[in-house]
Amino acid sequence: MAIDPAKSKAVSQVVREHPGMSLVAMSPGIVVFLLVGIFANWFLAIVLGVAMVAGGYYVLTRQK
């Protein structure tokens, strides 16, 4: 599976034009990562972070 170049270019343009919007979109994941790290343990937080990145990669590369 390869990342669609058109989607990749569109996402990078949105991040360049509106970095605040990108931060707001990512903030729930950041909050979950920090809460799991603080209240559970950091290893589990890292595992969940890797799972979130893998899920994002899957969403970007899936075939419709």
What is the C-alpha separation between 33 and 45, in angstroms, rounded? 5
d(CA 54, CA 28): 16
Tell whether pTM > 0.85.
Answer: no
DSSP the chain: ----HHHHHHHHHHHHH-HHHHHHHHHHHHHHHHHHHHHT-HHHHHHHHHHHHHHHHHHHH---
Per-residue model confidence (pLDDT) at position 35: 93
Q: What is the pLDDT of residue 64?
A: 63
Q: What is the pLDDT of residues 3-58, one digit of tens each?
A: 778 877 888 888 888 888 888 888 888 898 899 999 999 999 999 989 988 887 78
Greater confidence, 15 or 2? 15
Domain extents in the chain: 28-64
